[in-house]
Amino acid sequence: MPSRTLSAMDDHDPLTKAISPPPDETAAEKEARVKSELEAKRVSDAIDDDIDKQRIAEKRGPKPVRVLLLGQSESGKSTTLKNFQLMQDAKAFRKERSSWRALIQLNLVRSIHIILDAIARDYYPSSRPLMKDPNSSSTSPSVSPPSHAMPLPKETYLDPELLELRLRLDPLWKVQEQLARRLMIHESQWKEGLHGGREVVVNSAVAWKDVFTKKMANKRESSDSGRINWDDPTDPGRVLHECAEDMKRLWKHPLVQNLLEKQNLRLEEMAGFFLDEIDEITSEYYIPTNDHILKARLKTLGVSEHRVELNAGGGLGRDWRIYDVGGHRSLVTTWVPYFDNVDAIIFLAPISAFDQVLEEAPKVNRLEDSVMLWSSIVSNKLLERTDIILFLNKCDIMKTKLSSGIRLKDYVVSYGNRPNDFDSAASYLKKKFAGIMKEDSPLPRTFYCHLTTVTDTLSTQKVITSIKDMLMRDNLKHSTLLL
């Protein structure tokens, strides 16, 4: 049907109608509306004023240092960003502890659900990993319950203790739903994990911590101090505390450990792993530590900008802009050309993932993917004058994995008969990445590489300080970073 065309005789302007007050508006409603509009204008003007001040300050003062964080999902980008924030202020997360608390609790619940899904796959292979909660509405931010809520077939003989634990941990489904609501997570933001258990995925433009903190402040939680309302009867932490012993029994159960090994599930290598800290996280008055916040996992999509001002005591008296590109590898390469003006790129390659595959591409080895992404970045002509700093990350997991007998040569054929120890493996991979840069880079550039474990605050901040020293030595020839 053709659309109707408005003529000059039409009495109603749709734009005017849209912004006009309701025809039956009362005096009280008008007063409230005008007050709300004035407040909205005040906030808008304040934002515009701040933007103008920032623009003027940038013109008058030194240019900010722009750093781009790149790497595949779970490479450690967000953790590196948190280290920058902690260098600016050791109490950087104080106001957000209530939101981080909920996220860490959600990480713990997800790990338990991954285990229960693994049990279901082994004893009930034809089952779906997760099923929809019949009591939830389509618009609810609830998540689907784990497969342990599904009955096992009569012919399956599940260990009596595991069967009991499966039933006793059923309340965690409700806990997951409550935590999702507290974090303002909608059903569409949950994605199926490669190994079961659903993972939260949020757009980087969503300030989830700010929304959560303001919401909790209305429930008499202090947004200034980050204190938690321990008297809240709906606090999911109460149920977690009651389930703590059962969660520990499940995690430590010999059959579960054998099952996880059989399914090649190494939860301790996954981001957001807290199963070894159940007692602390489920304690009645749990407050997240900085170490826990560094380990917390929230998958983001898109590009986010973070401003960090490091004073002389923190290593740099300059404004830093840290850009975090989250998402699948295709999104990373899509965004990169828009950052040809950054001063440096920190590229994170999780070398411990040499025996893992990508979640979004299960046939692609994660180390191979890091190598391909590295090659695409160093060969990009738009970035030919940008210094790139390589973080061979997750060295702690790499050391543990190699010492346990997992052989690098079984996954990296070119490694050959070199010793299966960390020093030899790290040296080989370092030379491999350096060779790719030398061969693929459009212009000669210096190879900067650090062996990192970015969940280790002290060592990572030393690395960041050394990067500052590198900038001070004028290694970034096309920037104005001298103080």
Q: Is 402 annotated as a binding residue?
A: no
End-to-end Cα, the chain, rounded Å = 66
Nearest Cα neighbor of 74 from 367, 334, 342, 323 is: 367
Provide the Cα torsion 446, 451, 453, 459; round to 10°.
Answer: -80
- Please provide residue 68's backbone torsions phi and psi, each rounded to the nearest 5 degrees: -105, 130
Q: Is 294 annotated as a binding residue?
A: yes
Name which of 398, 365, 472, 386 is nearest 437 in CA terms.
386
Distance CA 230, CA 221 (A): 9
Between the CA of residue 100 and those of 13, 147, 226, 445, 474, what are the distances in Å?
48, 27, 10, 40, 38
Is 296 labelled a binding residue? yes
**Closest to 107 in 3D by CA, of 287, 260, 356, 278:** 278
In Å, what is the CA distance from 70 to each residue of 336, 424, 452, 468? Answer: 9, 25, 15, 18
Q: Say how far apart CA 383 and CA 377 lie, in whole Å.
A: 7
Instruction: For residue 295, say whether it is annotated as part of any ligand binding site.
Output: yes
Indicate if the alpha-carbon torsion angle 261, 76, 106, 204 is positive or negative: negative
Q: Is 299 annotated as a binding residue?
A: yes
Partners of 130 in beta bridges: 146
Q: For residues 107 and 299, give the distance between their C-alpha atoms in angstroms, rounded to a whole number.
A: 11
394 has binding-site annotation? yes
Decide if 145 contacts 130 (C-beta within 8 A): yes
Residue 5 assigned to a binding site: no
Residue 418: CA count within 13 A, CB half-sphere: 18
462 is in an annotated binding site: no
State the DSSP string of 179-203: HHHHTT--GGGEEE-TTSSEEEEEE
Q: Is 31 left (phi over 0), alpha (psi -120 to 50) or beta?
A: alpha
In 3D space, the residue among 379, 374, 376, 399 whose CA is nearest the CA of residue 389 turns out to be 374
417 is in an annotated binding site: no
Consult the annotation and say whether 396 binds a ligand: yes
Cα(51)–Cα(45) distance, rounded to whole angstroms?
Answer: 10
Q: Residues marked as binding for Mg(2+)?
A: 300
Binding residues for GTP: 294-300, 393-396
**Binding-site residue positions:** 294-300, 393-396
